[in-house]
Structures are given as C-alpha cells and as structure tokens.
Chain A
Amino acid sequence: MREIINMIVVLSLICAASGTLLVNLKRATKDKIEQQVLVNVQGPALMSVLAGCDNDPIAERKVVDGVTVFPAKREGKLVGVAFETAAAGYSGDVGVMVGFDLDADRLVAIGITTQTETPGVGTRIMKPAFLKQFKGHKVDSLALSSKGGDIDAVAGATYSSSGAVDAVRKALTVYKDIKPQIADLWPAS
C-alpha cells in the first residue's frame, strides 16, 4: 500500500512541477512567439501583397474592429492596407492575406498564409496562375466563374478555390467597414 501511495505521490509531484514550468514558460514566451509567427507565417504573404512599401507593416500594425491591419506607406504617406481573413476550404480553413490599394480603391493582390489542402490538388491555389486573377480586382464584388463571377477555380479543387474566394469576399466586407477609419489611424509623417 505504501508503495502505491509513494508511486502516485512522486508521479504527481513530477507532473505538477512539469506543468508549472511549462505554463510559466508559455506565458513568458507568448509575445515573442506571436511576433515570430507574424513575421514567418503572415510575413511572406504580407510582403508579396504590399510590395513597394518602404515602412514596416508588422511593426505599425493596428487592430481595427478586431482585425489586425497592416499599413503600407510610401514616403510617409499611407498607400495601402492588408489584413488576413479565412474561410473553410476542403480540409480546414484557408488563410488569405489581402492587400488593398487605397488610392485606386482596388485589390492589390492576395497571398495564401495557411492551408491544409490536399497536396498537388488543393495546394495549387497557392500558384501564381490562380492568384494572379485577384491582382487589381475591383472591390465591390468577387465570385467564382461558376457562380457568375470572374475567378476561375483550380481544376479539380473546387472547395479549395471557393475557400480562398470566400476568404477574399470576407476581406472585401471588412475593407468596406473599416475604410472610413483607416486614414486617421496612420497619419502622414
């Protein structure tokens, strides 16, 4: 009996110690990790949709109505914004970074941030052939050609394509909502 109690006590103590250590470590590294994820996961897509800016969009990001918005500036003047949205694809969510040109009031480009689609099939939404259809697109509406719009889905990857399109449509709505507030958030410097 004593032996069993001893076993349980020691095992529990070790688990408790490990738990405490890990929870504290997690708390201590939370911000750094968030920063790293932004730079490494959102970063590449962000840079591709906000090409030509000369500021640091990640450092100057602000949260507007619950959406983290990254500003693009040229010579101190705000020229564009980008933010990430997601929608259900074939297997899990497709994360899309959408960049907007404020002067032209159009989409600049999109980049896929996260996805778990079928390799070789659904992952083709990350290829330029699909993505270039979004370049310079108008911001009032967007749809797949099968639904009357002008975006052609990737052959054999309807769900993945519509996941990306749905994410971009969410972005268009967000853009419309936050547009009035944007100009004030990053005053010209």
Chain B
Amino acid sequence: MEYFMLFVSAIFINNIVLVQYLGACPFMGTSKSTDVAIGMGGAVIFVMLMATAFTWPLQHYVLMPYGIGYLQTIVFILVIASLVQFVEIFLKKVIPPLHASLGLFLPLITTNCAVMGVAIMVQRSNYSFVKAMAFSLASGIGFLIALVIISAIRERLDVSPVPLVFRGIPVALVTAGIMSLVFLAFQGMAA
C-alpha cells in the first residue's frame, strides 16, 4: 500500500518535471515528436534506476561512514557521468539495436538535472534501498508520461496557427504550464 502511494506520489502528485521542475531542459528539447519522446523517456528511466542503484550504496557505505558527506555532489556527478559512458559503450558492443534507439539520448542524460536530482532526493528523504529504487522508477515513469503527453500536443501545435512570436519554445512552455496546472490538481490526494 505504501509503495502504491509512493508510486502515485512520484508519478502524479510530485511529478518530477511538471511539479518539481527537474529535467526541464531535455523536456523542452526532446518533445518535438512522440517517437523521440518515448525513446528519451525510456532512456531516462534506465539511467535513473542505475544512478540510484550505484549512488545509494556509495552514500551509505562510503560517504557517510567516512564523514565526507559534503563531497556528495562531486562523487555523484562523477559516478553518473562515468556510468552513462560505460553503459553507452556496453550497449554499442552487446545490444546494438538498443544502442541504436537509446544511444543518442544517453549523453544528454548526464547533465539532466532529473537524474542527479532523484539521486540526491532519495538521500535527503532517507529512503531504504528498495524504496529508493521504487522512487527512481516511479519518477522516471512520471517523466516519460509528461514527455509523451507534451510531445503529442506539440505535434498538433506545429500544424496550428500559433502567433509568430510564440512559435517553438514559448508556446511549449505555456503548454507545460497548463499541464503543470492540471497535475497540481492531484495535490489534494496527499492530505
């Protein structure tokens, strides 16, 4: 039950991009077509899971016991960046079709605040390993859902008469704002 609430919370109530603002850059950049969106969303889920899987043990077995918790930022980003590099090389050699579809997005995700953000958030909320993994999965799914919705909308917008100055990113941002407003309606569920 509690895991169900965790999922609902991470996907809807505290949606990672529409409520917590994390991942806004790639959100804008890869939402021009739904296919790209699905690819990016999938890649984000994958990287988020891995990032948490590696940073959680690091925090609990290295950073905290040795009192170097303040180096969290630098250790996490290095781990995430290296991880993504290795995964890309691994995928290219071992599962080429997967690399062909996900590969382009992997480097993009290194500086995605959503991944680093989730890794840090699970530490600040003191989650156990299992909860942390569940939270990462849920956040990634929330990102995917939001991304697919907005890319579908943007595809329609591209063929609609949008005022000249709003074309492109501005109208996408306003759309994101309206979506965010809708997701805000879920806030009442928490209380």
Direct contact of A and B (CB under 8 A): yes
Q: How far is the CA of A119 from the CA of B125 in the complex (A)?
A: 10
A116 close to B125 (CB less than 8 A): yes
Q: Which of B70, B71, B125, B190 contacts A91 (CB 8 A)?
A: B125
A residues near B125, Cβ cutoff 8 Å: 91, 116
A residues near B190, Cβ cutoff 8 Å: 119-120
Among B124, B126, B131, find the residue whose CB has the most chain A CB atoms closer than 10 A: B126
How many residue pairs between the two chains, A and B, have CB atoms under 8 Å in the bound complex?
17
- Total interface residues on B, CB under 8 Å, equals 11
Q: Does B127 contact A (CB under 8 A)?
A: yes
Q: Does A44 contact B (CB under 8 A)?
A: no
Name the CB-closest residue of B to A91: B126
- Total interface residues on A, CB under 8 Å, equals 8
B residues near A119, Cβ cutoff 8 Å: 190
B residues with a Cβ closer than 8 A to A are 70-71, 74, 124-128, 131, 190-191
A residues with a Cβ closer than 8 A to B are 18, 22, 26, 91-92, 116, 119-120
A120 close to B71 (CB less than 8 A): no
Q: How far is the CA of A160 from the CA of B190 in the complex (A)?
A: 17
State how many angstroms separate the Cβ of A19 from the closest Cβ of chain B. 8
15 contacting pairs across A/B (C-beta < 8 A): A18-B74, A22-B70, A22-B71, A26-B70, A91-B125, A91-B126, A91-B127, A91-B128, A91-B131, A92-B126, A116-B124, A116-B126, A119-B190, A120-B190, A120-B191
Name the CB-closest residue of B to A29: B70
